[in-house]
Structure 1
Amino acid sequence: MKGLFHNKEEVTGFLTANREKFQQMLLSEAVNVGSKINDILEKGNIDLLKNAEMLAHYIVENREEELVEFAKVEGIAWAQHSLTLAFKLEWVHAIRRTLWHFLYQYDNQNAENESPRKKFFDLEKRINDSVDQFLNTFFISYSDYKDELLLSQKKLVENLSVPIIPINSSIAVLPLIGMIDTYRVQTLEEKVLMGISSMKIQTLIIDLSGIAEMELDVIFQFEKILNGISMMGCKAILTGLRVELVRKIVDSGVAFDSPVETQGTLQQTLKELLVLESGVQY
């Protein structure tokens, strides 16, 4: 394939002149993707046929930097719109097969003699290496974007799982809902102690009406959190303790060492505290 090494522009022109045939072969090689081209364009604003032509040109012209950058952009785009990776694999392999077919056609039209075997294998290695580099960079970019997204969502969930709500300059409420496991109780400890410090909380009402179950190790860790709250100079008030949870705490033998106050309901506790602060009688 003599012309490919010395006349890159001619090969690119050949591919451009045969764009329609190139696209038809692509669609025949990637049957599953072909039926989804419009969906992918609509969902992710990704023109697969146009991008396939760009990739082929980058490979033929040996534009490595642009190929790598293009792969990164593609990886992020597919990750952002949660497009099926199986489609991407099928599409790139179809591009590889189609590109080889048209390089063969170009060589037949332009080479006077059969291409030397060594030159052919050198070309084969370069073309396939370029396609593999695109795939590798694409998947790394895709994976990195997903990892960053998961980390961002994890931090959001952590913040939502410990919603400290300020009532006034000194009182805050922490309503806990759902299951508290080992991981969540660790997050709870960090967020509560940091929140008391940054918000200057003097009284923290922890409402447990949405918690029905705690594992034994979580109960022990929760006791440490209450001790930590006391050490921060903050008063902890527990409200909404359910019968099942009280029994579990009693059976565990845990005795809260810190001066923890317990009240029946969050509403009544808030009413009493605010009355005490304002001196208003209801």
Structure 2
Amino acid sequence: MGLILEEEYIDYFTSQRSAFQEKLLNEAVNVRDKIHDILLIGNIDLLNNAHKLVMYVLSGELKALDEFAQKEGISWASQDLTLAFKLEWVQAIRRTVWNFLQRYDLEREGESYRNFYELEEKVNDRIDQFLNGFFLSYSDYKDQLIESQRKIVEELSVPIIPVTSTVGVVPLIREINLSRANIIEEKILNEIERLRIQTLIMDFSGITSVEKGVLSHLMKMIDETKMMGCECVITGLGPKIVMEITKLGIQIHSQAKTKGSLQQALEDYLVSSI
């Protein structure tokens, strides 16, 4: 595509942005109903990102296209979003781009038809370049995430620290996502049975962040410890987690006792166990 023609395409697609998005949503049937959820969960604006992709493709900004593909791959992988949705979305963008290129040509009475083969090669190659960059970035980030999770799991190989014959402490640290919460849940329940723990102190002060849905999962785990005859005490709740618990409507006092700090809980329970 020549520079003048590229500028004409960019102007045309910019002026037709609303119509383009409407056509795109009709093309991506399965993704259409998930757009709001993806924005809410992963802060990924699919429609705005589609516009960016089209602009990079039409302008031939290949370096920016590669950087955008890498960023998208990391965003998608970090939120654990389905790859099938991304593939459907990009292929819908491809079909919609060609639909509007045809409209552009028809409005100009086939004026750009002689450039079709060159245009076809460049547009499709650039979209494929984005897809290749996206999948490589997604895969690399996932590998790094898996390795990071593996190291964390190794650090938590024995999550309960016995402080007396009946009292144990679980220091929760770093980021907790659903995958890690499931591992912690399994290990804690097994250790309660093995060590015959009657009082479990869960310290939240070392948590740096909590993935959406994890707090509800942790509250379920507290219920499970109660079913095993183990009293749960929670310490170190910070403002962010407290507000999230309140927002979720979780009645934490009906499920566990709370203490301001791990030190306070240890003083109370070590004295009472002597």
Are 2:60 and 1:62 equivalent residues in the alignment? yes
**Once superposed, what is the RMSD of the aligned Cα atoms?**
2.6
Q: TM-score, normalization: structure 2?
A: 0.56
Aligned to 2:125: 129
Any unmatched runs of 5+ in structure 1?
168-208, 212-281
SS at match of 1:161: coil
Any unmatched runs of 5+ in structure 2?
164-192, 196-273
Aligned to 2:93: 95
Give the aligned length: 168
Q: Over residues 209-260 of structure 1, what are the superposed CA-to-partner deviations in whole Å (9 max), with x where a residue is unaligned?
A: 949xxxxxxxxxxxxxxxxxxxxxxxxxxxxxxxxxxxxxxxxxxxxxxxxx
Q: Is the 8 A contact 2:105 2:111 kept in 1?
A: no
Give aligned-pair identity as a percent.
53
Larger radius of gyration: 1
CA-CA distance at 1:111 after TM superposition: 5.6
Partner residue of 1:9 out of 7, 10, 17: 7
CA distance in 2, matches of 1:114, 1:24: 25
CA-CA distance at 1:147 after TM superposition: 0.5
Are 2:149 and 1:153 equivalent residues in the alignment? yes
Q: Is the 8 A contact 2:42 2:75 kept in 1?
A: yes
**Would the alpha carbon gap of residues 69 and 105 (structure 1) be closer, same or farther in structure 2, given more than 3 Å must change?**
same
Q: Over residues 62-113 of structure 1, what are the superposed CA-to-partner deviations in whole Å (9 max), with x where a residue is unaligned?
A: 0000011001111111111111111100100000000011111112223664
CA-CA distance at 1:53 after TM superposition: 0.7
CA distance in 1, matches of 2:47, 2:90: 11
Residue type at the aligned position of 1:150 = I
CA-CA distance at 1:33 after TM superposition: 0.5
CA distance in 2, matches of 1:133, 1:91: 15
**Would the alpha carbon gap of residues 28 and 156 (structure 1) be closer, same or farther in structure 2, given more than 3 Å must change?**
same
**Would the alpha carbon gap of residues 122 and 7 (structure 1) be closer, same or farther in structure 2, given more than 3 Å must change?**
closer
CA distance in 1, matches of 2:160, 2:12: 65
Q: Is the 8 A contact 2:10 2:55 kept in 1?
A: yes
SS at match of 2:57: helix
**Would the alpha carbon gap of residues 114 and 56 (structure 1) be closer, same or farther in structure 2, given more than 3 Å must change?**
closer
Residue type at the aligned position of 1:120 = F
CA-CA distance at 1:114 after TM superposition: 6.2
Q: Over residues 118-156 of structure 1, what are the superposed CA-to-partner deviations in whole Å (9 max), with x where a residue is unaligned?
A: x32221111111111101110111111110010011111
